[in-house]
Structure 1
Amino acid sequence: MARDAEATRKRILDAAEEEFAKYGIAGARVDRIADIAQANKAMIYRYFESKDRLFDEVFSQRVLAFVDEVEFDAADLPGYAGRSFDVYQKYPNTLRLTNWYILERGEEGQLSTLTASYRDKLSRIEAAQKEGLLPGDRTAIEILTAVRALAMAWHILTPDMARAQLPAVARRRQAVVENVRKLIAL
């Protein structure tokens, strides 16, 4: 019985990820999620209580998967940016869900998963700055924000710009790594 419940929960989360990535929180429909997951709406509400909590669970899982897959090394921010680029390339829903979270949660967003991840990264950058491995002329959050922005840049182009003749994926990744290397040069 427990395996059936676990399988149902996973189907719901998988269907919800696609639904939220495509339509956002406001546009997502629990009916569609239930149909795709082959579950009933009551089961979704039983597991997650509300559509908002379902989104939080989906987004938290995507954040945790990102953290697990992308090793963060404050002494190798170019490598971190390249690995981040790779995950955004492999899992486009990561950025789609992030954008919906930003747009629809705004300043209300308070996911402990994200908060813990950022605090850890910021403290590691600060430690690397104290060791002289990173420039000290900017704050840790300024550095992390710039590194993340560069890693995401190719994946958040407007459709008009994305239709331009873009460099190959390998060259885009290389540009990200090189730009981060220049950003943190001492």
Structure 2
Amino acid sequence: MENKHSRLGIFLLILAVFGWFAFLRGQITVFGEKSLDAKARSVELESYKTRIADLKQIKEKGEQVQSTLRAMYLAMPKQNQIPEVLVMIETIGANSGIVFSGVTVGNTTANQTVPGTDASTIAEVPVTVSFNGTLTSVTKFISAINTNIRTAKVQSQTISADKSGILTVTMQLGLVYQGGGNQ
């Protein structure tokens, strides 16, 4: 009888081991599938993160391009903008400490084709400014005109001084813009 119980015990043990492996094998398959699914989702998540980083970089580059285009438009607008030019010159003068004695805006010059382009033309608004100031304020004004974002060419200038050191300046500027005609 003991032999029968041993055989039955061994048989049950073997059956339990096979059952255990059969159960584990199913769980291992499910675990493997879930692991593959998790890896696929992880790769997909990394792909989305890369795409988002790329989009942020494109956005930053786009903002830089927009900033550059705005600066270029300010430097050389598409219209002569005479009122804006007068305000700009008056503001630069006030910030420099000079006193205007006269500002004259002339007619727009003839268009010139920009070299290396098909149809781009530039024109100038001639502006004559007369002002008084100390050497420091006149130097500050001329420097501000030269470093101003609006493209300006100094065509001519005359400077005289009185006994007290006050300078009288007459300056012919050409404020450049894109386009043509008398706008």
Q: Quick check: which one's helix share is greater?
A: 1
Q: Structure 1 length normalisation: TM-score?
A: 0.19
**Higher Cα radius of gyration:** 2
Higher relative contact order (CA 8 A, sep 6+): 1
Q: Which has the higher strand share?
A: 2
